């Protein structure tokens, strides 16, 4: 690493904050492909509450709420969350979408085994060390109810951008001030340790190659 993780985290938070201040619809208003797919999965599993991490300005939170889920959306950008709250109010979804500022390097706020499902679109490939990633998935497992589901998407090493940005060390690449990691299947499997790995599906969106990963918190043996 050319800088430490604390400095990198601070720089990333500022970078995202600026990006969201400059663009009211940074990722567009349409839900991601992952959100559409995830709503069907969570619905079929009888889940009604979703904790969304790295929710940005809320395009997926709104979609999930419109499908009937209660969504608690978190992000570390106040600018993104201000926009999310405003839009939730405008759309009359503020009874089903709540929001809180949270850096996923910190422990997750919910108590143990209280959350039905966790969803994170293109968050885990941000500038986290592998230790931070393992701590985050452990936290997600802690807050999920037994049998609860975690769906996440990440950039894949199959993506044409893989290896193209500035190599800043520890498997991270930077471009235009944003830093992140491309996932191979080994990392997906590593993060599924002590989980039931449902599937790791490769897919394409907006010309990028990603993984969509579904894993469940094991229910205790009876």
Ligand X SMILES: C[S@@+](CC[C@H](N)C(=O)[O-])C[C@H]1O[C@@H](n2cnc3c(N)ncnc32)[C@H](O)[C@@H]1O
- The DSSP 8-state label assigned to residue 107 in this structure reads P
Nearer to ligand X, 147 or 157 (CB): 157
Going from the C-alpha of 40 to that of each of 30, 46, 80, the distances in angstroms are 17, 10, 26
CB of 138 to ligand X, least distance (A): 15
Number of separate helices (H) and strands (E) present in the chain: 6, 10
Rounded to a whole number of angstroms, the minimum distance from the CB of residue 171 to ligand X is 16
Chain mean position to CA 158: 20
Closest separation in Å from C-beta 187 to ligand X: 17
**DSSP H or E run through 65:** helix 59-66
DSSP state of 93: -
Name residues whose C-beta falls within 8 Å of residue 90's C-beta, 6 or more positions apart in sequence. none
Cβ-based nearer residue to ligand X, 123 or 216: 123
Closest to ligand X by CB, 150 vs 219, is 150
Q: How far is the CB of 221 from ligand X (least distance, A)?
A: 34
Phi, psi (5° rounding) for residue 51?
-100, 115
Contact residues for ligand X, defined by CB under 6 A: 12, 16, 27, 32, 54-56, 59-60, 75-77, 80, 103-105, 121-123, 126
The residue (of 121 and 214) whose beta carbon lies closer to ligand X is 121
Cα–Cα distance measured from residue 65 to residue 80, given in angstroms and rounded to the nearest whole number: 18
Least separation in angstroms between residue 102's CB and ligand X is: 6
Distance CA 121, CA 154 (A): 7
């Amino acid at each position: 690493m050319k800088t430490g993780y604390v400095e990198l985290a601070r720089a990333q938070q500022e970078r995202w904050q600026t990006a969201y201040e400059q663009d009211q619809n940074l990722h567009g208003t349409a839900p991601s492909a992952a959100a559409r797919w995830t709503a069907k999965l969570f619905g079929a599993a009888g889940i009604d509450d979703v904790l969304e991490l790295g929710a940005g300005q809320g395009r997926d939170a709104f979609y999930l709420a419109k499908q009937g889920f209660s969504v608690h959306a978190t992000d570390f950008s106040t600018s993104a969350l201000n926009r999310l709250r405003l839009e939730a109010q405008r759309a009359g979804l503020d009874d089903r979408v709540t929001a809180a500022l949270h850096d996923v390097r910190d422990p997750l706020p919910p108590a143990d085994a209280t959350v039905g499902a966790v969803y994170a679109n293109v968050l885990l490939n941000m500038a986290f060390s592998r230790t931070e990633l393992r701590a985050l998935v452990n936290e997600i497992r802690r807050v999920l109810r037994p049998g609860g589901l975690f769906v996440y998407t990440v950039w894949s090493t199959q993506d044409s951008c893989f290896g193209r940005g500035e190599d800043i060390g520890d498997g991270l690449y930077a471009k235009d001030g944003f830093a992140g990691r491309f996932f191979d299947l080994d990392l997906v499997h590593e993060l599924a340790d002590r989980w039931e790995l449902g599937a790791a599906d490769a897919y394409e969106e907006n010309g990028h190659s990603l993984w969509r990963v579904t894993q469940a918190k094991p229910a205790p043996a009876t």
